[in-house]
Amino acid sequence: MKKRIVFATGNAGKMREIRMIMDDLGIPVLSMKEAGIQMDILENGKSFAQNAEIKARAVHSMCHDIVIADDSGLEIDFLNGEPGIYSARYMGEDTSYHIKNASLIERLDGVPDEKRTARFVCAIAAVLPDGRVLHSRGTIEGIIGYEERGENGFGYDPIFYLPEYGCTTAQLDPVTKNELSHRGKALRAMKEQLITVLQGVEE
């Protein structure tokens, strides 16, 4: 089996995160750009896992390395799981998160703490050189705050409050966020699966 991982993203922050976590596998981790792959992928799955697999398969068709892709988003229970798989597209891709966050706070107007429960979800799919597909998933539970707080992170972080830490995920330092986050958990779970697969190949 070829020993290269291509991560199907154009997002530099995600690349840093995956490199940090996959580092001790001892396999080079390349971005799509570094692997010389450029493509627009239609994410038309019905779940985070399907979208991750669609992305990984699309890139795998161009390179046959180990290809990893993720799909993530915010599920708010009071809004029946919205924005969910549409988190990036909620109110339009080009709408600022300040406006998206204000809209979600507004839609929860008058809703008490115990009904403001939400989670970030991350699904990861890996397509192996022989076509096998692996899946992992990570979540982090929180509640939707009443105002934006914090400057770190991105997206919905300023309104995602962690009661046990007394702050939003936008107030966590990046290392702590990676330890706790949906993406960190899903990436570490995927790493464990890859270690097993790679050991099987080497034996």
Which member of 5, 8, 69, 74 binds ligand IMP (CB under 6 A)?
74
The catalytic position among 71, 77, 109, 130 is: 71
17 and 183 in contact (C-beta within 8 Å)?
yes
Q: Is 71 a catalytic residue?
A: yes
Both tokens of 174, joined, read 């990046």
105 and 42 in contact (C-beta within 8 Å)?
no
> Residue 195: how many CB atoms within 10 A of its CB?
12
Size of the site for ligand IMP (CB under 6 A): 15
Residue type for 104, please? L
**Binding characters for ligand IMP, 36-65, by CB under 6 A (x = yes):** ------------------------------
Which member of 108, 120, 127, 168 binds ligand IMP (CB under 6 A)?
120
Residue 128 is classified by DSSP as -
Residue type for 75, please? E
Smallest separation, CB 43 to ligand IMP (Å): 7
41 and 70 in contact (C-beta within 8 Å)?
no
Q: Which helix (H) or strand (E) covers residue 197, if one does?
A: helix 182-202
Which member of 65, 145, 181, 190 binds ligand IMP (CB under 6 A)?
181
**Binding characters for ligand IMP, 135-174, by CB under 6 A (x = yes):** ------------------xxxxx-----------x-----
Nearest Cα to Cα of residue 3 among 34, 37, 26, 21: 26
Smallest separation, CB 20 to ligand IMP (Å): 15
Binding site for ligand IMP (CB under 6 A): 70-74, 87-88, 120, 153-157, 169, 181
Catalytic residue IDs:
71
